[in-house]
Chain A
Amino acid sequence: GESVGLHLPTLSVQEGDNSIINCAYSNSASDYFIWYKQESGKGPQFIIDIRSNMDKRQGQRVTVLLNKTVKHLSLQIAATQPGDSAVYFCADYLYNFNKFYFGSGTKLNVKP
């Protein structure tokens, strides 16, 4: 039968603005999280990670916030640039299962 792909939520921002991309995870036992960036035709690229004993971590132009109470993760990109245009998705790690679960992603469009 016909295979229908997931409709990715899209976030459009103006160059220079800040972007916030959200992710919800389902398993309260997840103890490690990664944000990936995937450009068209390429493999996922690590952006930033956070462990469950933290609620915030900052990198270069990026910040990840973790709210374990509501099982929510966000990625903030400061001063968004055209090169930031890509699909962003989070992955959470379940120690007991020793594997990562990937979210479906958000497409970020940066308008010049």
Chain B
Amino acid sequence: EPEVTQTPSHQVTQMGQEVILRCVPISNHLYFYWYRQILGQKVEFLVSFYNNEISEKSEIFDDQFSVERPDGSNFTLKIRSTKLEDSAMYFCASSTSGRGEQYFGPGTRLTVT
């Protein structure tokens, strides 16, 4: 069964450093998403991406964040200058339509020290 994959599974970085979280969505999916989940809290929407552009973003997704689909398979989330409060699980998801079942990856745990 096709699945969303994410790398790395755990990323430790120092405050102020840039990180890139990588995702490979399911191959025939057209919509891509990033979510984050701070430990013990609910999943929060960050951004949705369709047709090579951001279709929606939350107030969390400020200028420090960017997304890119550099080729036909990868979907990345970049945090330019990490802060302690960026520590969270980051989930990538993909779907065939913008209003349907989203398939989530296993997540990347980001720890900012």
Q: Which residues of chain A have a CB within 8 Å of any CB of chain B? A: 3, 5-6, 8, 32, 34, 36, 42-46, 49, 89, 91, 93, 95, 97-105
- Chain B residues lying within 8 Å of A95, measured Cβ to Cβ, are 99
Is B38 in the interface zone, CB < 8 Å from A?
A: yes
Shortest Cβ distance from A44 into chain B, in angstroms? 5
Is B12 in the interface zone, CB < 8 Å from A?
A: no
10 more contacts with CB within 8 A, not counting A6-B41, A44-B43, A45-B104, are A42-B107, A43-B104, A44-B104, A46-B103, A89-B43, A93-B99, A98-B48, A99-B48, A100-B45, A105-B42
Return the 10 tightest CB-CB contacts between A and B, nearest first. Answer: A5-B40, A43-B104, A102-B43, A104-B42, A98-B56, A44-B104, A46-B101, A99-B56, A99-B45, A43-B91
Shortest Cβ distance from B11 into chain A, in angstroms? 15
Q: Which residues of chain B have a CB within 8 Å of any CB of chain A? A: 4, 35, 38-45, 48, 55-56, 58, 85, 91, 93, 98-107
Shortest Cβ distance from B40 into chain A, in angstroms? 2
Residue of B nearest to A42 (CB): B106
Residue of A nearest to B57 (CB): A99
Residue of A nearest to B44 (CB): A102
Interchain CB contact under 8 A, B107 and A101? no
A-B contacts, 28 of them at CB < 8 A, read A3-B38, A3-B85, A5-B39, A5-B40, A6-B40, A6-B42, A8-B40, A32-B99, A34-B101, A34-B102, A42-B107, A43-B91, A43-B93, A43-B104, A43-B105, A43-B106, A89-B42, A95-B99, A98-B55, A98-B98, A99-B56, A100-B102, A101-B45, A102-B42, A102-B43, A102-B45, A103-B42, A104-B41
A8 to B40, CA, bound (A): 8
A91 to B4, CA, bound (A): 19
Contact flag A44-B91 (CB < 8 Å), given A93-B99, A98-B56: yes
